[in-house]
A and B are shown apart, each in its own frame.
Chain A
Amino acid sequence: MRRVLVLARAEVQRFIGSRRGLVSLLAFCLLWYLALSWFVLPAGRLASGGTSVGLEAMLDQYLGLGKLLRWPASEYAAWWIAALYLLPFVAVMASADQVASDRARGTLRYLVLRVSRLEILAGRFLGQAFIMAAAVLATVLSTLAVVWYQHRSLAPNDAADGGSVIAVVGVATIALWVTLLPWLALMALVSSLARTPGQATRYALIIWVLLSIAAAWLASRFGEHVVLDHLLPGSPVRTLLSRMGSEALGPASIGLIHTMVFLALAAVVMYRRDL
């Protein structure tokens, strides 16, 4: 485990020092800035403008997302939607080079003299999981700051109870992070097959499209089934949109199954492929 942690720490440092890492970080900051200014902030103003009843009716009627307005503040609901849709893209972009370029460059040859291939896989995945945890926390903290800024004039009694907010948002943060893990695991798999991060991303797209086609074909042949709904990585997102706090943990945990399957496949590839 110590070696895996050393590899995870090195992965975080490698990510921060790489051009891909910096581009991913920049893309994340820009995307999240846009999400905050065009989505999270307006959501708060909309709700505080007394239109929340209308908004709830609209969300419920047209999108089936009326439950979103149960969040302690509408900014949190906006954060939840934005993060659920944006962070998977950031995760895919950031984690595409877990082993691909190191394999092509021969750097893995230095590592396998000291650690097993599975430890390399686990260390790189864990490092990426740390990076995405930081990204998730950044979205939460920026949203908390927005909420504080928007509601700073409210009397303490008018504001949502601090403890319950922390509980709801905290659990949602964990659920959000768990939702990203399958993407990291998928990229671990394709990265161990590819020679460049770009190739890994293309492989991920191909796998996702093939799984979509397979799910659609199976549904047309054998009828709709709950298992088919969860075949694709990211499938829990649709369900998660209408969940809040601890309700999100159940659907998010489906992502853990995806994660385990992709990591198991990545382990087979890592074990069998020449370096």
Chain B
Amino acid sequence: MTTMLTCDALVRRYGRTRALDGVDLSLDSGAPVALVGPNGAGKTTLFSVLCGYVRPTSGSVTVLGHKPGSAALRGQLGALPQDAELAPRRSIGAQIEDFGRLQGMSRGQARAERERVLDVVDLADVARQLPDSLSHGMRKRVALAQALIGSPRLILLDEPTAGVDPPNVRIIHGLIREMAGDIDFLISSHNLDELERLTERVVYLDQGQVSSRGAVAVADMAGDTEAQGRLTITLDVVDADVHDRVAAAVTGLANVTGCRVAPRGDLVADVLSEDAAAAEVIGWCAGNGVRWRRVSRGRTLEERLYEA
């Protein structure tokens, strides 16, 4: 297995502020990785260091075995930087074609690649348009298209769906899932539901350091021991009283030893047998006219990160 990236005592200071304060991290190629943390945690700074936009103050960092920004990474690393925009007065197709040519393609190859990547993001018909003529969601998809030029081994996505409408979010999610088998992804986002669907590993960054909060510092989610003996139940009800009533009732079921309402409304139950408890919970809801939406093993990512 190859190494995707390493950070060793990585520090980046802005004046007196240490945006990255000794990050130690090593990630192998494989399943997509989520980069999460509160505002100001250093996610975008780490992303910028990995892309070579920002130089570290001290420490070392490698991406696919090379120093960020080095010539060896060109064509190997794709990125969707947050808030970066294409030049407003040149057509989307011309700019994507230029990117291809800068990656060493001939004019014909670059044209074919332009058509391919725009087709992948389902925007083949916008090549002649100016970036400003597109919606925010479509611009994000164009930005994703430029990250796919050539054959990147690793793509870094910084808030890929921030401010994007649901139809475009679905398209972007679908693309990432489709490509995740061939390309490594590191996805920085505040949308934990999104990360839960797209990633299998989580790096939690807090105050410029990789944190162990929530026991998911650099953990493979499948190997999380906290997932054992837990069920998360999502009801199709908003009323908090109903949640409390259901939690109390579920606690009395044979395979459930306890149940509480998490702040965002999910019920988190401690169970003896996940399969048996799930059947009991669903049966109880059906018998008492309570509509449920989802019953899942373990805790949600949000629960694990913030309800430790």
B55: which A residues are within 8 A, CB to CB?
A: 272, 274
Cα distance A105–B101 when bound, in Å? 22
- Choose the segment among B70-78, B175-183, B243-251 that binds chain A (4+ C-beta atoms closer than 8 Å): B70-78
Give chain B's interface residues, CB within 8 Å of chain A: 48, 51-55, 69, 71, 73-75, 77-79, 81, 83-90, 94, 98-99, 101-103, 146
A2-29 near B? 1/0 per residue, CB < 8 Å? 0100110010011001110000000000
- Take A112-B53, A274-B53 as given contacts and tell me if A13 and B79 are in contact as well, using a CB distance cutoff of 8 Å: no
Which secondary structure dominates where chain A touches chain B?
Answer: helix
Judging by beta carbons under 8 Å apart, are B87 and A275 in contact? no
Asked if A154 CB lies within 8 Å of chain B CBs, one says: no
Among B54, B77, B146, point to the contact of A110 (Cβ < 8 A): B146
A116 — nearest CB in chain B belongs to which residue? B71
Judging by beta carbons under 8 Å apart, are B54 and A275 in contact? yes
Judging by beta carbons under 8 Å apart, are B90 and A114 in contact? no
Known: A18-B89, A105-B87, A113-B77. 19 other contacts (CB 8 A): A3-B101, A14-B90, A106-B85, A107-B85, A107-B87, A109-B84, A110-B86, A110-B146, A112-B69, A113-B74, A114-B99, A114-B102, A114-B103, A115-B102, A116-B71, A274-B48, A274-B54, A275-B53, A275-B54
A60: which B residues are within 8 A, CB to CB?
A: none
A13: which B residues are within 8 A, CB to CB?
A: 90, 94
B146: which A residues are within 8 A, CB to CB?
A: 110
- Take A14-B89, A107-B84, A274-B53 as given contacts and tell me if A7 and B102 are in contact as well, using a CB distance cutoff of 8 Å: yes
Shortest CB distance B120–A (Å): 17
Could you list 23 examples of A-B contacts with CB < 8 Å? A6-B102, A10-B90, A10-B98, A13-B94, A14-B89, A105-B87, A105-B88, A106-B83, A107-B85, A109-B51, A109-B81, A109-B84, A110-B86, A112-B69, A113-B73, A113-B79, A114-B75, A114-B102, A115-B74, A115-B102, A274-B53, A274-B54, A274-B55
Shortest CB distance A41–B (Å): 36
B98: which A residues are within 8 A, CB to CB?
A: 6, 10
Cα distance A274–B52 when bound, in Å? 9
Cα distance A181–B92 when bound, in Å? 31
How many of chain A's residues touch chain B, expressed as a range?
20 to 34
A116: which B residues are within 8 A, CB to CB?
A: 69, 71
A19 — nearest CB in chain B belongs to which residue? B89
B79: which A residues are within 8 A, CB to CB?
A: 109, 113
B54: which A residues are within 8 A, CB to CB?
A: 274-275
Going nearest first, the 7 A-B pairs with the smallest beta carbon separation are A106-B84, A275-B53, A114-B102, A17-B89, A109-B84, A109-B81, A274-B54
Judging by beta carbons under 8 Å apart, are B101 and A6 in contact? yes
B94: which A residues are within 8 A, CB to CB?
A: 10, 13
Asked if A216 CB lies within 8 Å of chain B CBs, one says: no
A113: which B residues are within 8 A, CB to CB?
A: 51-52, 73-74, 77-79
A14: which B residues are within 8 A, CB to CB?
A: 87, 89-90
Cα distance A236–B147 when bound, in Å? 47
A145: which B residues are within 8 A, CB to CB?
A: none
Judging by beta carbons under 8 Å apart, are B52 and A112 in contact? yes
A107: which B residues are within 8 A, CB to CB?
A: 84-87
Cα distance A112–B85 when bound, in Å? 14
Q: Which of A107, A109, A111 has the most CB of B within 10 A?
A: A109
Asked if A102 CB lies within 8 Å of chain B CBs, one says: yes
Shortest CB distance B93–A (Å): 12
Judging by beta carbons under 8 Å apart, are A109 and B53 in contact? yes
Cα distance A7–B90 when bound, in Å? 13
Cα distance A246–B35 when bound, in Å? 63
A111: which B residues are within 8 A, CB to CB?
A: 102
A274: which B residues are within 8 A, CB to CB?
A: 48, 53-55
B51: which A residues are within 8 A, CB to CB?
A: 109, 112-113
A19: which B residues are within 8 A, CB to CB?
A: 89
Shortest CB distance A18–B (Å): 5
B88: which A residues are within 8 A, CB to CB?
A: 105
A114 — nearest CB in chain B belongs to which residue? B102
A106: which B residues are within 8 A, CB to CB?
A: 81, 83-85
Shortest CB distance B207–A (Å): 21
